[in-house]
A = this chain, B = another copy of it.
Amino acid sequence: NRNVEFETSPQAIRLYYFYNHWTMRAAIYFFIFVDLSLALFEKPALFPLPLLATSLVEVLCLTAFFGRLVHFAKVTPQMVFWKDTKNICVMVTIVLTLIDLIIYGSLEAVNIHSVRWSRVLRPIFVVNFPESRQIRRAFRSIRNTLPDILYVFLLFIFSVLIFSLMALKLFGNRSLKTVDGSPYFTNILEIAFELYILVTTANSPDVMMPAYDFNWWYSLYFITYIIINTYIFMSVFLAVIYNNYRKHLKNEIRKLAYLKRYKMMEAFNFLNVEVGTEFVVTEARWKQLVKVVAPDITSSHMELLLRICDEERKGHVGMVTWLLAFPFPALSQSGVAGVLLAILRLLFLADKMNFLRLADLLNIQVVTINVKTHPLETWMPRVYQSPASLLVRKVVRHRREVGKSSGYAMSDLKKGKASRLSFLLHASWSCSRTPDEMCFLGFFVWAYDVIILINAIFIALDEKNPFISYAEWVFLSLYIIEILLKLYTYEPRTYFGMKQYWNWFDTLIIIAALLASVATATIQSARKYNSQQVLDIVLILRILRLLRVIVSIQRSGSFQGAWGDAATPGLLLQKASSCQPKAPELFLDPRFRVIVTTLINIGPTMLVFGGLILVVYYAFAIIGMEAFHGKIQYLDPNSTAPGALVCGNPALNGSVFARDRYCKNNFNDIASSFIVLIELTVVNQWHDILSEGLALPAQRRGMLGVASRRRGGGVHLGGTDFVPMADGFARVTHQAAKLYFIGFHVVVVILIVNIFIAFILEAFFVAYSLEKSEVETAIEKKIQELG
C-alpha cells in the first residue's frame, strides 16, 4: 500500500519491506479465503465438519489477521494507525468474532442452538485489509452516492404509496379475486409490496389481470404506474448513480495523482544537485534509482525513458521530465484497465494540457520485444533458411505483420544483438506491400477461420455419428498443426510472452482438448466407464475454440490487435494507420474494433465487481441461511419420498414454487444460497421465490387459517380464535422476510447493478472518445521524433 505513511528508521523500513513482501500478502489472502470458505463447512454445511475443527481454523485465521495488524502497527506511526478506521474495524471484528465463538461454543456444549451472528462480519476482513484498495474504493463510491440515492428513493416511495392508496380506493371494495382466489388489493401494505414488485417487472401482467378483466380502463392505472416508476424512476436511479460514480472517480484519481506527484517532488528535492541555474538529478543517480525501484525493467525500456526525460542529452534529468517519465510503479501494477480508461477520459475532459500528466500516470507502457533468433535457426540454420522453410514461414506469418518484415530486416542488419529497441521500428512501418501479397499473407489465417466455421457446423451435428467423431480428431490435428507451424515461424519464447494472452488461450485450449479427448477415447475404448465430466469438459473446450473467430476478426483489421500478438513490435497506444489489410468491410469499421476491444478490456475490472458482489452476497447469504435454512428440501421428484413434490414442506402444497420445481432454490448451504441470490439479482420470479418459497411456509399457514375461517364463516362454526393468531404469526414472519428481500433488491439491483452499468457505460465512452483522440498521435509523434 503505497499511500500509507511509514516511519523512516532503518528497522521500520526493513519491517515495511517485509510487510509488503509477496509471501505476506499471499498469506493474508489465503487466510481471508479460508475464513470465508468456512461457511462451506459450518452448519448448515455443504461438507459438514465438527464445530471444533471449524472453530480452530477460525481462531487461526483471526490470529493471522491480528498478527498482520500488529505488523502494520509497527510500520506506521501510532497516531496514523489509530486514526485509521480500517484498523479499528478489523480489531473490533476480531474481538466480536471471538466473543461470538465463545458464546456459541459454550451454548452448543450444553446443547442449546444459537445463532453464529458474527459470520456476517467476515466480509469486513475482505474490505478492510489494505490489499483490497479497489473494493474499498467501490464501497466509498457507494457511500458517497447514498444521499442522492436517498432523495430519489424517498420520491419513489412517495410515488409508490400514492399509487397504493389509489389502488386501495379503486380496487379494494370490488371484491376482486386473484388467480389463486385470494382477495385482490385489499390491504395497503400488501398493495405497496405488490406495486414495489411491479417496479421490478417480476409480476408484470399478473398483478394487473384481475382489474383488467373487470374493466379495461383500469389498465391505464397500471400503465401510468409502470411508466412513472419502472421506467422513469429506475432510469433516474441509474442517472444519479452514474453521475456520482463519475464525480467520485474523478476525485479519487485526482487525489491519487496529487499524492504521487507530491511524493515524487519530495524524492526529487532529496536527490537533486544544482547544475547551472537549475536543480537536476544526474543520469547515474537516476539509473541507479530506477534499478532499485523497478528491478525487472529492461535496459531498453530504461533507455527509452531516459531519452524521454533527457531530450537534450545533457546527462541529467530536470524536474519536469523527472515527474513525467520516472517509472513509478503506480497504476500499471494494479493492472486495472478500467481505472486507466477512466483516468484517460477524465483527464481529457478536465484539461487538454493534462496530456503530459496522463503519460505520467500511464507510465508510457512501452512493450519492448526482444527480437530473438529462433532456436531452430541456431541449431540448423541451413534447413531453417531453406526456400521451403521460408515459404512456410511466409504463409504462416500473420498478414497484419506488414511492418514485421522491416523489423526483421533491421534485426538482420544488427545481427548478433539479441535485444534491441524494437519500438523504433514503428516509424518504418509502411504500406509497401501490394494487395496481392497481403492477400497471400492472409491465406493461412483465413484458412483457419474457415476451418473453425466448419468445425462449428460439425459440433452442432450429432456427435454419435462415427464420421463426425472422427472429424473431431481431424480438427484437433489441424489445430495442433497450426500451433506447431506458428512455433516454427515465431520464436517460442516470444510467442508465449507475458502479454500474449490469446496465444496462451489457444495453446491451453488445444492441449486440454487433446488430453481430454485422449482420456475419453481411452475410457470409451475400455467400455467400462463413460465419464460425463470429462466429456463435458471436452465439449466445452471444443466450443471455446470457436471464440478464436473473434480473435481473428479483432486481429485482422487492427494494429491494435498486434499488441496481443507475438513477435510484432508493439506499443500500447499505437494507431491503426492508413496501412490496413483487406478484410470484409464490416470488420474493418473501427467502431466494431472499439466494441470488441472494450469488451475484452473491461475483463480485469470485473474482478473488482466480483469482490464487491462477493462481500454483499456473503453477508446476505449468511443471514438467509440463518433465517431460512431447512425450510425447503430438495428431494428427487421421481422418488417416492413423502413430500418430494412439495419440497419436503407440506405448506408449499399447490404453490407456484412447488409447481415450477424450485425446490433446489433454498438457503440450505452457502452454495445454494449464492445461487438463489443470483436468481434474485436477475429479478424475475423473485417474488415467487420470496413469498412462495421462503416466507410463505408461514404465510400459507396464515392463508390456510384464512381459508379455514372462510370455511368456518360459511358454515358458521368456531375457529375464529385460532385465525387471528395464525394470521398474526404469519404476518410477522412474512413482513420480516419481505424486508430481507426488499433490502437485497435495493442494495444489489438498484445500487450495485447500476454501478456496474455505469462502469460499462463509462468504459465505452472512454473507448469512443479515445478512438479519435490525439493521444495516440502525440505519443507516436514523440516516438518518431526520438527515433
Q: DSSP majority for the A interface?
A: helix
Known contacts A169-B543, A213-B661, A634-B213; A151 and B592 CB within 8 A of each other:
yes
Known contacts A201-B682, A205-B679, A685-B205; A166 and B540 CB within 8 A of each other:
yes
Determine the residue in chain B with the shortest Cβ distance to A200.
Answer: B684
Chain A residues 144-180 with CB under 8 Å of chain B are 147-148, 151-152, 155, 158, 162, 165-166, 168-170, 179
Contacts of A678 in B (CB 8 A): 223, 226
- A757 and B235 contacting across the interface, CB-CB below 8 Å: yes
Q: Which of B165, B602, B685 contacts A456 (CB 8 A)?
A: B165
Chain A residues 648-707 with CB under 8 Å of chain B are 659-662, 664-665, 671-672, 675, 678-679, 682-685, 689
Determine the residue in chain B with the shortest Cβ distance to A244.
Answer: B768
Check if A761 is an interface residue, CB within 8 A of chain B: yes
* Cα distance A459–B165 in the bound complex, in angstroms: 8
- A240 and B595 contacting across the interface, CB-CB below 8 Å: yes
Contacts of A549 in B (CB 8 A): 158
Q: Give A454 Cβ to nearest chain B Cβ, in Å.
A: 14
* Cα distance A524–B205 in the bound complex, in angstroms: 35
* Cα distance A661–B177 in the bound complex, in angstroms: 11
- B204 and A768 contacting across the interface, CB-CB below 8 Å: no
- B675 and A219 contacting across the interface, CB-CB below 8 Å: yes
Q: Which of B230, B550, B682 contacts A226 (CB 8 A)?
A: B682
Known contacts A155-B595, A543-B166, A683-B204; A243 and B768 CB within 8 A of each other:
yes
* Cα distance A591–B243 in the bound complex, in angstroms: 12
- A204 and B460 contacting across the interface, CB-CB below 8 Å: no
Check if A256 is an interface residue, CB within 8 A of chain B: no
Chain A residues 492-530 with CB under 8 Å of chain B are none
Determine the residue in chain B with the shortest Cβ distance to A223.
Answer: B678
- B595 and A236 contacting across the interface, CB-CB below 8 Å: yes
- B761 and A242 contacting across the interface, CB-CB below 8 Å: yes
* Cα distance A595–B679 in the bound complex, in angstroms: 32
Contacts of A230 in B (CB 8 A): 682
Check if A765 is an interface residue, CB within 8 A of chain B: yes
- A684 and B202 contacting across the interface, CB-CB below 8 Å: yes
Greatest chain B CB density within 10 A among A168, A672, A761 is at A761
Greatest chain B CB density within 10 A among A201, A205, A586 is at A205
Contacts of A602 in B (CB 8 A): 232
Determine the residue in chain B with the shortest Cβ distance to A203.
Answer: B684
Contacts of A599 in B (CB 8 A): 155, 232, 236
Q: A188-B460, A240-B764 are in contact. List 10 more A-B contacts (CB 8 A).
A: A155-B550, A155-B595, A179-B660, A179-B661, A205-B665, A208-B679, A213-B661, A213-B664, A236-B760, A239-B760
8 smallest beta-carbon distances between A and B, as pairs: A239-B764, A204-B684, A235-B760, A169-B539, A201-B684, A151-B592, A204-B682, A239-B761
